[in-house]
Chains A and B, each alone.
Chain A
Amino acid sequence: MQPDSLTFIFLNAFLINNFVLAMFLGICPFMGVSGKIKTAWNMGLAVIFVMVVSSVCAYGINAILVRFDLEFLRLISYIAVIASAVQLVEMTIKKVSPALFRTLGIFLPLITTNCAILGLALFQTNRSYDFIQCLSFSLGAGAGFTLALVLMAGLREKLELADVPDVSTGAAMSLMLGGMLSLAFMGFAGLGG
């Protein structure tokens, strides 16, 4: 597969270099909202949505900044763009589909502080992707995030019923599970060929 083909960019972000399990972006929601499959799924959908929107915005902003030689403002503009994108998405969803808005609830505003979104914007700039590649990259990254979150939620739902030693409950056990998932995902490393 060509390293800059759209399929490869998608698969790379989705499985090989999964944002959560290989690059450690978005660990907070990974630990925080992976208690139930249902919420994990909703969170994942919201993140995909915001990722695509902010990836497009970041692409535009970067083009403007490069044109006027203002690259040192990149970080500040990106974070401002993401915050406004989240706000915008929140308002749109509220208007278009109140039902979806209610399901997503508090997760929408929390996405602003998710480092996976800022990471996505920074990586696509560092790798100088063009517009279509950016779209493929953000979809892949969002899908990968959702996959990791849902898998983790599934494991944790099972874990509720398991009888683990007293000291190993809570965060330590979740991290152990995360490590095993990450180990499993390393198997995808050969996928790109």
Chain B
Amino acid sequence: MVQDPRLPEKLSWETFSTGLWKENPVFVMLLGLCPVLAVTNTAMNSLAMGLATTFVLLCSGVLVSLLRKVIPKQVRIASYIIIIATFVTITDYAIKAISLDLYKALGAFIQLIVVNCVILGRAEAYASKNPVVNAFVNALGMGLGFTFALLCLGVVREVLGSGSLFGFDLFGPAFQPWVVFVLPPGGFFVLAFWLFIFSVFRKRKERAQSNKEEVANAA
């Protein structure tokens, strides 16, 4: 475990890494699946969506954490949603200003970041209880974990479905694209495929663990 000495005691590498792998919002917690399936038809869209979500996650995490002693308990969910909606509106306008093509490709899904349960979940479960630095680090980890998951899907779908990666042609003109992967069913299939792989790994690890325990017990 890596401990950064400049940061407060409680803050550890775990705070950051938990979102990347152990509690990955998509592959482990199965949260926020709508954008995961909807906008991952190309790697570029996945990256943009992941970064937009990370931005909203970071900003709303910091603000919720700053205001955690001010917001009354009874209206906290409504306040969180308003905070999140504000940052989503900013993101929406920013993406429109930066790249209109990207804005058209992502469509209403930028605005739908508001109802992404990952963000509200983090605000409620983490940012509302922890100091700003922790909330920032944790949100960064979660956001990167989310982006990573989106890229996992986006890369597979773009390579199989259109034979390119980030818009660059990979296989030349002879490649017959496997169109179903850029269409809606492909999203379901590729996510299911990743979950299969993770499930196989988890089962194998569990088996190794129980074997080890058996050996220890026998000895």
Contacts and interface: CB of A to CB of B under 8 A. Distances in A.
A119 to B, nearest CB: 6
A178 interface: yes
A182 B185 contact: yes
Contact of A179 (B31, B93, B185): B185
Interface stretch (A5-13, A16-24, A93-101, A130-138): A16-24
A72 B111 CA distance: 11
A155 interface: no
Interface in A112-136: 113-115, 118-119, 122-123, 126
A26 B195 CA distance: 20
A72 B89 contact: yes
B108 A122 contact: yes
B33 A176 contact: no
Contact of A114 (B35, B38, B115, B195): B115
Summarize B's interface: helix, strand, loop or mixed: helix
A179 B112 contact: no
B38 A23 contact: yes
Which range contains the number of B residues in contact with the other chain? Answer: 35 or more
A170 B202 CA distance: 14
Contacts of B200: 167
A21 B184 contact: yes
B85 interface: yes
Interface string B88-131: 11001100000000000000100110111100100000000000
Interface string B179-207: 01001111111011001100110010000
B81 interface: yes
B112 A175 contact: no
7 contacts: A23-B184, A79-B114, A113-B115, A118-B115, A119-B108, A179-B189, A182-B185
Interface of A: 21-28, 31, 72, 75-76, 79-80, 83, 113-115, 118-119, 122-123, 126, 166-168, 170-173, 175-176, 178-180, 182-183, 186
Given A25-B112, A118-B115, 17 more contacts: A22-B184, A23-B184, A24-B38, A24-B187, A25-B38, A28-B31, A28-B33, A72-B89, A75-B89, A75-B111, A76-B86, A80-B78, A80-B82, A118-B112, A171-B195, A179-B185, A180-B185
Interface of B: 30-31, 33-35, 37-38, 78, 81-82, 85-86, 88-89, 92-93, 108, 111-112, 114-117, 120, 180, 183-189, 191-192, 195-196, 199-200, 203
